[in-house]
Structure 1
Amino acid sequence: MKYDVVVIGGGPSGLMAAITAGRHGVNTLLIEKGKKLGRKLAISGGGRCNVTNVLPDKELIEHIPGNGKFLYSAFSIFNNYSIIDYFESLDVKLKEEDKGRMFPVNDKAITVVNKLLEQLDNHQVDTMLNTKVKAVNYDDVSHSIILEDGEKIETQSVIIAVGGKSVPHTGSEGQGYAWAKKAGHTITELYPTEVPITSKEPFIQQKILQGISLRDVAITALKPNGKPIKTHRWDVLFTHEGISGPAALRLSQYVVKALKKHKVDQLKVSVDCFPDLNEQQLLDQLMKASKEAPNKSVKHIWKPFVQERVLLYFIEKAEIDPSTTYHHLEKKKVINLAHLIKNFEFYVNGTLPIEKAFITGGGISLKEIVPNQMASKIMDRLYFCGEILDIHGYTGGFNITAAFSTGYIAGLNAAQQVTANYTN
């Protein structure tokens, strides 16, 4: 069996690579080891599919802390606005939500997946599902894909788009790293990103705040000397294992790196529940609210400030009797409470494993990739795209943007290489 281009991996980057190669008139095959294409897309954005983000390039890159600058070349060819135009040309209407996130108007990821599957058909891309690749063999003239059943597929160009090691139930189990190494590539250290953070603090172990979400807070990872490493502002969710929610997920990679760098078992994080107020302003508001209803208990008066269970936990830590009224309120203790609400510090000891992460940090070294082609600098007619590369972003449409962009570039250049071979 012979093809011009073979794409291995049917996630966002692989789908875009195969469609783009097919669109440019080359005989293309897409191999997926699972029974469905686009499984990661189908579950992204809580099943609504956050297809991209509308931030301008510079900000977009800032939201891809894992080597985002490498994508400047790719984004000059196919960026977030190209993705929006592409889907709207397929009649997938998109809408903008908070923080620039773009979703299909009908909130259904399956609409996005089905449109991409239609495009595979439209451009005569062959697909093989439930098909495991045993090996990829490289040669000067053509490469060959050996399937698990022994079948051999000859191809001029190979695009490896099998993802990282996160969310393995969608098919990303890290098998692509071995194929990259075989071609001579370096794999940088892999680590979990966009992953819940773990803690052994008693309030976590005892599930005192489990299930509570704090909205629009600032969370900071602290060095052992107390200096800040990184702050993220968004929502934090307390779980039975630690903390999750978008702000904690974004902070997770900094926790992973800091624990390793400082050779410590745990680090402090600090949550600021009122990032727009200073401690004095918060103290004034707490005292004013209590003074205006002097006969009511503070636990009742201060309810609007913080989620009730969190408030009760803070009141207890500040040694305030929740039934106390303004008449018996010690200002010194309210000062402690205001400090606690602004600086809720606790220890974290790591994250859930890479298999539980949304995104894999690390991957194929970008020093070995041509940025405007996604081509290997080491092996001719070998391309990589998506999460297998040492690129990672925050949640919010940034990783899918990188996947679609690198997939498009890989598919385009693999097709152009084949066409050039035919004309020579």
Structure 2
Amino acid sequence: MSSLNYDVVVIGGGPSGLMAAIASAEQGANTLLIEKGKKLGKKLEISGGGRCNVTSRLPKDEIIKHIPGNGRFLYSAFSVFDNEDIIDFFEDLGVKLKEEDHGRMFPVSDSAKDVVKALINQLDNLNVTVKMQTKVEAIDFRQDHHTVILDNDEKIQVKNIVVAVGGKAVPYTGSTGDGYSWAKKAGHTITTLFPTEVPLKSNQAFIKNKALQGLSLRDVALTVKDSNDKSLVTHTMDMIFTHFGISGPAVLRCSQYVVKQWLTSNEPVKLLIDALPNTNEETLFQTFNQLMEQNPKKSIKNNLKGWVPERYFLFLLKETNIDPDINSANISREKIRALVEHLKRFEVYVHDSLPIEKAFVTGGGVSIKEVIPTTLASKLMEGLFFCGEILDIHGYTGGYNITSALVTGRLAGQNAAWNSF
């Protein structure tokens, strides 16, 4: 056996690992990619509903705003390789992209498989050695080289290792948290792991009795409140009531703020649903009063129908103790005020989320304070690099996490290669 088997070993065949292996081999480094599963790019294949939202065309500052979990760390990396470079990279590989709403970039073919195929072809073109269905049992770190120990007892000596094994979310794609123990062994801090982009649980009576189960609300403004009743964040998107709580795009976006707060306080977290975010509360109150005065003999149910889905409206009438069949003339202004308040600020109390395995993204990970932002190299261990979701960086769904994975993978692979020579 020669003293070193490879210049660079990349562990993990997800978006960041594929990009790291390509970037390393492009620099001329003898590169090995190790993947424990049967397939490369499994997470990419399922992303964007199987269409693969590879990045976003929003300005850099906007992209970083959409990565609320330490996105600012990426400014240095973005100055070397950014979202526009990702677009060029895929176009050069023959994957034509198209822009959709909110700057989201998809392959023209609408097939994530084309994205994965292009990356795998590029590994072949660059002579990257790929070991599939190969589990890394441990890493033995030394000052001048490291030894990767496989589960079949094979030992691979290497100067540089790129850890790209993901977090703990979506474990059936292979992200089962393997990398945290290796990072700890190298002296790294793992910040608290928590689920983000995850459905939320509530044990309020209306959830338990399934009063709204399966009901979707379109374009609601969902606001997370802190323990002092200050607004933390608001997202205006769709949501759905489930048998355990709430889900849908607005809920997923708000979830990390809810989970973080719940982890620190262990108290239920209050969320407010504004079902009519484009209508001012006072305007709505006056409009409702006018409608009642104009049609006093009509039932309130018929007088005010169409503002929100009927099932939600009937539920809110019940919540405010208003008989849906009562004549509009017989309802007090106080009751109308209460109804409007419920439409604008219906309270949901969340006490937990689904587990991290059911989340789309992992919050927490290898502390970014211990990683050099321009190279993704460890500040604590020579020849060790991190990229992708193992880092304490997390964004919203919509191509932001993949952007982070591809950008950090690019830099980690490139710099690992340069460190070999």
TM-score by length of 1: 0.94
Q: Which residue of 1 aligns with 2:141?
A: 138
Q: Distance in 2 between matches of 1:136 and 1:246?
A: 39
What runs of 5+ residues in structure 2 fail to find an aligned partner? none
Instruction: Output the aligned Cα RMSD.
Output: 1.7
Alignment partner, residue 347 of structure 1: 349
Quick one: structure 1 residues 319 and 408, their matched pair in 2 at CA, closer, same or farther if it must change by over 3 Å? same
Aligned to 1:358: 360
Aligned to 2:408: 406
Residues 285-321 of structure 1: per-residue CA shift (max 9 Å, x gap): 3344556666554334433211121111011112222
- SS state of the match for residue 66, structure 1? coil
2:221 aligns to what?
Answer: 218
Whole-angstrom distance in 2 between the partners of 1:184 and 1:280:
57
Give the counterpart letter for 1:286 in structure 2: F
Question: Bigger CA drift: 160-169 or 81-90?
Answer: 81-90
- Aligned residue for 1:130, secondary structure, equals coil
Deviations 1:23-66 (A, max 9, x none): 22221111110101111111111222111112211121111111
Aligned to 2:101: 98
- In the other structure, the counterpart of 1:376 is 378
Secondary structure of 2:325's match?
Answer: coil
Task: Measure, in 2, the Cα distance between the counterparts of 1:292 and 1:398.
Answer: 50
Structure 2 residue identity aligned to 1:145:
V
CA distance in 2, matches of 1:260, 1:403: 26
Identify the residue that residue 86 of structure 2 maps to in structure 1.
83
Take 1:41 and 1:292, find their aligned partners in 2: how far apart are those partners?
A: 56
Matches within 5 A, 1:297-312: 297-312=299-314
Instruction: Report SS of the residue matched to 1:110.
Output: helix
Separation in 2 of the partners of 1:224 and 1:156? 49
Distance 1:414-1:212 versus aligned 2 partners, 3 A rule: same
Aligned length: 418
| CA shift digits 1:245-287 (9 cap, x unpaired) | 12211211111222233x3431211111122222111223334
SS at match of 1:77: coil
Distance 1:332 1:283 in 2: 10
Deviates more, 1:309-318 or 1:222-231: 222-231
Q: In 2 relative to 1, CA 96–211 (structure 1 residues): closer, same or farther, beyond 3 Å?
A: farther
Question: Match for residue 68 of structure 2?
Answer: 65
Q: 1:273 aligned to 264, 272, 275, which one?
A: 275
User: How far apart in 2 are the matches of 1:67 and 1:148?
Assistant: 34
Q: 2:285 aligns with which of 268, 272, 283?
A: 283
- AA aligned opposite 2:194: Y
* CA–CA distance in structure 1, aligned partners of residues 103 and 405 of structure 2: 18
- Counterpart CA distance in 2 for 1:144 and 1:30 is 15
Could you say which residue in structure 2 is the equivalent of 1:123?
Answer: 126
Specify the SS of the correspondent of 1:286: helix
- What corresponds to 2:326 in structure 1? 324
Q: Secondary structure at the match of 1:257?
A: helix
Report the more deviating stretch, 298-307 or 151-160: 298-307
Residue deviations 1:112-150 (CA, integer Å, cap 9, x gap): 111111111111111111111101112233222111011
Look up the equivalent residue of 1:394 and give its one-letter code.
Y
CA distance, structure 1, for counterparts of residue 87 and residue 93 of structure 2:
10
Q: Displacement of 1:98 after TM fit?
A: 2.3
Q: Deviations over 1:368-421 (max 9, x none)?
A: 111110111111111110010111111111111100000000111111122xx2
- Rate the CA distance shift 1:325–1:178 in 2: closer, same or farther, 3 A: same
Give the equivalent residue in structure 1 for 2:399: 397
Q: Which moved more, 1:114-123 or 1:229-238?
A: 229-238
User: What is the aligned partner in structure 2 of residue 232 from structure 1?
Assistant: 235
Question: Mean alpha-carbon deviation: is it higher for 126-135 or for 300-309?
Answer: 300-309
Task: Provide the secondary structure at the position in 2 that maps to 1:229.
Answer: strand
Alpha-carbon separation, structure 2, partners of 1:305 and 1:109: 39
1:172-251 map, 5 Å: 172-251=175-254
